[in-house]
Amino acid sequence: MTDVRELVRAFRASAPTDDPVAFLRARFDAGLAWVHYPAGLGGLGLPREQQAIVDEELAGTPSNDPRRIGIGLGMAAPTLLRHGTAAQKRRFLRPLWTGEELWCQLFSEPGAGSDLAGLATRAVRDGDGWRITGQKVWTSMAHRARWAILLARTDPDLPKHRGLTYFVCDMTAPGVDVRPLRQLTGEAEFNEVFLTDVFLPDDLRLGAVGEGWAVARTTLMNERVSIGGGALPRGGGLIGVLTALWTGRPDVRTAAAHDEMMRLWVAAEAARLTGVRARQQLAAGDPGPEGSAVKLAFAELAQRITGLELELRGADGLRHDDWTMRRGEAVDFEGRSPTYRWLRAKGTSIEGGTSEILRNIIAERVLGLPAEPRTDTTVPWRELPR
């Protein structure tokens, strides 16, 4: 059995810590990026829980800034690992993990958000590649990304779920136009992306033609775990911010607020433990529909916790730190002002699957309740009203 701790200590003793990029590349090559990945792809084929030992031993060394590259780590990488060719894995995973190449997600469209399979972006064969035309929206990091995971329609004569194909999109290709979308917080964390006759070679296709929905489901299930099921210590995250306020400001406490505080603490701890279970499922294979419950709980808790914080702070809580229009690169719930947290939390019930859609998934695929009647899953996409 591999002694991970000894392996990490030997690596650290010889690694080039004075050059962050060189250190991260060396860490990947040593299999210490994500130890549960296969050897040669940044891992050692070990149980996922061994990663905690690696992270503990490498504390204080150069970081790949997981918040900044979260789309790559939480969505693109597991999709590439499951559906990519050997050449695609070798090409993309290393610079993805080191943060040298950022990723974004080109899924949602103005007319296809909650009903993602209804998307209209077209991919048409052109010699040894594809021409992509359409519009995507709510795209985090598109203004910084080198690559994107892209879902497009290759056959409009098939039912909507069956006519899709999944691609890796070169964000520097001619015809890619990224425009900012300003939010309630004042900044433009999201973008809309216009794709006009963008050429992608066929070796950037991920999975078989027409199998895009199956590939996208891998992305979506991982996305929901990555948004709502991140590793936190007990009392960490937003509930930690609220707890610090509660313990430091006895003057704001009331009986009603105490009741809500305790309800939120219990709910946050239950959500944290559910997230642990979801990550264990992810380590064992693919995350199941239970990941939807994790993300749903995170969205509701974020809004309730930030609401109580603002209520306790009173007028002081309304002082927003910065309304400047800027292109954000990460969501910082803990480091920004209470007003930022409250405003930004409004988006948690929309991004990564709306809470309404997630409740349907939980009802049908976790609880086994009858599915809602649908008439749009068996007719050709071209015949659907839009």
Q: Which residues are catalytic?
A: 223
CA of residue 367 relative to chain centroid, distance = 25
Residue among 153, 174, 163, 66 at smallest CA distance from 107: 153
CA distance 271 to 236: 12
CA distance 134 to 243: 46
Residue among 26, 53, 56 at smallest CA distance from 42: 26
Kindly write down the DSSP assignment for every residue of 202-239, as one continuous string.
Answer: GGGEES-TT-HHHHHHHHHHHHHHHHH-----TT-THH
Contact 52, 67 (CB under 8 A): no
Position 166, amino acid = Y
Q: What would the two tokens of residue 299 be?
A: 């969205």
Residue in the block written with tokens 């891992």 = 43
CA distance 175 to 159: 28
